[in-house]
Chain A
Amino acid sequence: MYNPTVARLTYRALLGRRRALILGALPALLIVIAVAVRLLNGADDHAATEILGGFALASMVPLVGVIAGTGAIAPEIDDGSIVYLLSKPLDRRTIITTKLLVAIGVTLAFTTLPILLAGFILNGNSQVIAGAFAVAAAVASIAYSAVFLLLGTVSRNAVVFGLVYALVWEALFGSLVPGARALSIQQWSLAIAERIAGPGADITSEVSLPAALILLLVATGLGTWYAARRLGSLTLAGER
């Protein structure tokens, strides 16, 4: 289910040349903000929740997820070079799972570690806020990667649709229509953070923990399965 060569190619497509720097700008911004807030403000649990929940988990994790998830496969389908990969004697499910693992790895590296670091800078992990958001970000990274990888195999405008989901659905509709919040990866991961963090941390989620866990598993599993199916039935003579 894992092929080192495919993994190396995907990894280079995602982080080769200057792309790692661009992707690294987001976590760097988070760390800078964390340091600035700590210096100006001192350690404060509420500030930590505000930065990690309102900025890191709400905008950084989905964005890195979109870039890594769709970037792992969509450009190759777009310019047709996926043909060379598909014509090798490799199971297409292996290709998908390998690309998914690389996308998850990249998203984790660029979100979870910086969030943990920023949390420690902000309040020294009091009330386990840093740990809670790091775990939430890790879980969200996995789900986002699977969903956006699926989008990459379904549509040529994968990046746009991924951003529509992340921005319009989770941010705009989520703040206007309460029901929309129940169907958002951000809220599912918040449910986990709510459970881990101390009672004074003021993290709230719309969904209960068991429901969140089930939905996360279903989204990840279904996303991977259907992406493999889509790639399996991808015709090489694409309709242009």
Chain B
Amino acid sequence: MTPPTAQDARIHNIGYRRYEGERLGAGYARLSLFVHSLRGGFGLGRSARSKVLPFGLFAIMCFPAVVMVAVAVMTGLDEMPIEYQGYGLAMQPILSLYIALAAPQMVSLDLRFRTIPLYFSRPMSPADYVRAKFAALSAAIFLFVAIPLTIAYAGGLLAELGFADQTSGYLRGLVAAAVLAVTHAGVALVVASRTPRRGFGVAAIIAVLTVPYFAVTAVQAIANEQGGSDAIGWLGLFSPTTLMDGLQSAFLGGTSGFPGEAGPSTGAGVGYLLVTVGLVALCHVLLVRRYRKAGL
């Protein structure tokens, strides 16, 4: 016997419609994630409070470029006081702080609020996620360094410091900034992807970026006193900052910040290139492995 209500049962048409628009696919999802992360790296699309630190650091980053231009115009120098290739390295503390701020913002929050499974329920693989984040952080760091360079370049042209000199220096500076951005982004993301807590991520990234630098510099200073200029070059391989410094002095014609301005020899220069490429590849592999499982 059927219950009395079953006779009144009927199916209403609630107007469900299939999605008939264009399916944009994984490529579009990657692009969206890239743009979203890049904007997030500068606090765009977030609260006003979270814009203060990125833009404050960016202003400090641009300040020496403006001063350089002013000095060049006023005193009639024939070249810039700071080389284009070494600009990012000269501002290393500010740059490290920015990276330490941006990297956990990009990946730690997804871990903390468990949004990772949501990303992977889209037509996106973990490798796509990693590449989008990697590209976004690299682009953010590149802009962070390249915009002050562009300011200095424009100022240098206005001060008539010589078009050919300035342009070749500027282009080499951009290459140095790009290499710096990719390596530092890799290291920072590997560290940040291990912790869901932002504060801890910030401290850990700063530690990874600066402690080896201080250690290498101290040991290099000792090697310099012992007269081992060969050792200075090889020691530089052991921290991201000195790695970049050696690379730009070996291949981009910059002056090294090593003690006694002793850049790496040609043999060591090849070593620098190999270590840099290896470091980026290693970071990528580690990141992809980290996100193989969608949970935590």
Contact = CB atoms under 8 A, between A and B. Distances in A.
Contacts of A74: 199
A167 B222 contact: no
A67 to B, nearest CB: 5
A44 B225 CA distance: 11
B94 A168 contact: yes
A159 B210 contact: no
B218 A163 contact: no
A60 B221 contact: no
Contacts of B96: 167
B214 interface: yes
Contacts of A163: 97, 100, 202-203, 206
A63 B211 CA distance: 9
B206 A167 contact: yes
B193 to A, nearest CB: 15
Decide if the interface of chain B is mainly helix, strand, loop or mixed: helix
B281 interface: no
A54 B53 contact: no
A106 to B, nearest CB: 14
Interface residues of B, number: 26
Contacts of A9: none
A75 B199 CA distance: 8
Interface residues of A, number: 36
B204 A22 contact: yes
A54 B219 CA distance: 9
Contact of A37 (B97, B199, B202, B222): B222
B187 to A, nearest CB: 15
Contacts of A67: 203
B183 to A, nearest CB: 19
Contacts of B101: 160
Nearest to B205: A163
B197 interface: yes
A127 B206 CA distance: 33
A2 interface: no
- In the A-B complex, the 4 residue pairs with the smallest Cβ-Cβ separation, listed nearest first, are A59-B214, A55-B218, A54-B218, A159-B199
